[in-house]
Amino acid sequence: MRRFGYNLKQAFVQMGRNKGMYFTTILAITAMMLILGLFFVAFVNVNLFTKSIEKDYNVVQVYVKENTKAEEVKALTESLENMEGVEKVEFVSKADALVSLKDTWGDNAYLLDNLPQNPLPDSFNVYVKDKDAANRLAEEAPKLAGVEDIVYYRDTIEKLAQLSRFVETGSIVAMLFLIIVSIIIVANTIKLTVFNREKEIGIMKYLGATNSFVRAPFILGGIIVGIVSAVVATGLTHLIYSRISGIIGEDVNRILSINFVPAEQLSMVLLVMFLILGVLIGSVGSMISIRRFLDK
């Protein structure tokens, strides 16, 4: 503990001696983490949208032809139930469909009150296990007797899945790139600090200092940079994200019936992630630059 205290003190002393350099490094790492954070929140939300939409669209709507007899409807129900990958078949009568539509329209539902007759057909909500089952159903169902049409948003789901994959890959590539850049930045800062203390390190080694003793203040310095950057970057990401979700969150909710992931929840995850990342960047970066000196 005494040694840790000594090393920590040395780390702060050396940060104090190189204030400008450490400040710039914290700024650079914070910027990197901020970009990383924005990628991350985009990734989490797009993923959530995709999952949520996929879940909603695991339902294939099968519309029944006008004037189909009850026996035919029953037979159709059985045929649908017997199809592979079908989990549940729910019959929605045209009356139920109208009630549901009125619910969706909310305040504007009065517009539907004056219709001469209910224009909606009877339909089935067919819940399928997965996308493959949905595809199969979309292909087979129209061939069954009594089926007018089917509605299945395959294209939308696929596009969303594509977008999600793109954001996912982009995020991973960006994260790796930014992590490497951050490590290089920290390594260079620490290298300059080491240069400034070259004489001191030389004396320390002549005095019989162990490598870990020489290394510790530099690594702690790197870790402090990482931690400070992590906290600042989390704060900034939180601010920006809350602002964006505040501005467009309601619209997204109205259009897609989906909420943004709450900022507080995401910021906690981000903070933990950034702290781990900061410690990693700081320690790896400083170890890289001090190693060469210790090998001398």
Partner 1 sequence: MIEFKNVSKKFGNNVALDDVSIHIKKGDFVFLVGPSGAGKTTFIRLILKELDPDKGKILLSGQDITKLRKRKIPEVRQKIGMVFQDFRLLEKKTVYENVAFAMEVLHKSRKEIKERVPYVLELVDILDKANRYPAELSAGEQQRVGIARALANQPRVLICDEPTGNLDPVTAMEIMALLELINIRGTTVLMVTHARDIVDAMNKRVVAINDGKIISDGAGGYVFRDFDLDGMPDDASDARKTITSISRQTLTGLSPRQTMTSVSQPTEVSDNEVEDMLSDYL
Least distance from C-beta 18 to partner 1, angstroms?
13
| Distance between CA atoms of residues 76 and 128, nearest Å | 16
Cα–Cα distance between 60 and 146 in angstroms, integer? 16
Using rule CB under 8 A, residue 209 touches partner 1: yes
- Determine if 172 is a binding residue for partner 1 (CB under 8 A): no
Kindly indicate which of the ranges 69-77, 79-87, 199-207, 223-231 contains the residues binding partner 1, using the contact rule CB under 8 A: 199-207
Contact 264, 241 (CB under 8 A): no
Counting every residue written for the chain, the total comes to: 296
Quick check: 204 binds partner 1 (CB under 8 A)?
Answer: yes
291 contacts partner 1 (rule: CB under 8 A)? no
H or E stretch covering 60: strand 59-64
287 C-beta neighbours (distance < 10 Å), count? 18
Considering the complex, state which of residue 149 and residue 198 has its C-beta at the smaller distance from partner 1. Answer: 198
CB–CB of 227/275 below 8 Å? yes
The reply on whether position 206 binds partner 1 by CB under 8 A is yes
Which of residues 27, 111, 203, 272 is near partner 1 by CB under 8 A?
203
Return the range that interacts with partner 1 (CB under 8 A); candidates 42-50, 66-74, 120-128, 210-218: 210-218
Please say which residue, 2 or 143, places its beta carbon nearer to partner 1: 2
Helix or strand or coil: residue 57?
A: coil
Region from 1-9, 92-100, 113-121, 230-238 binding partner 1, contact rule CB under 8 A: 1-9
* Exposure letters 73-109 (e unless 16+ CB within 10 A, then b): beebbebbeebebbeebebbeeeebbeeeeeeeeeee
Return the range that interacts with partner 1 (CB under 8 A); candidates 22-30, 41-49, 135-143, 200-208.
200-208
Using CB under 8 A, list all residues that contact partner 1: 2-3, 6, 199-200, 202-211, 213
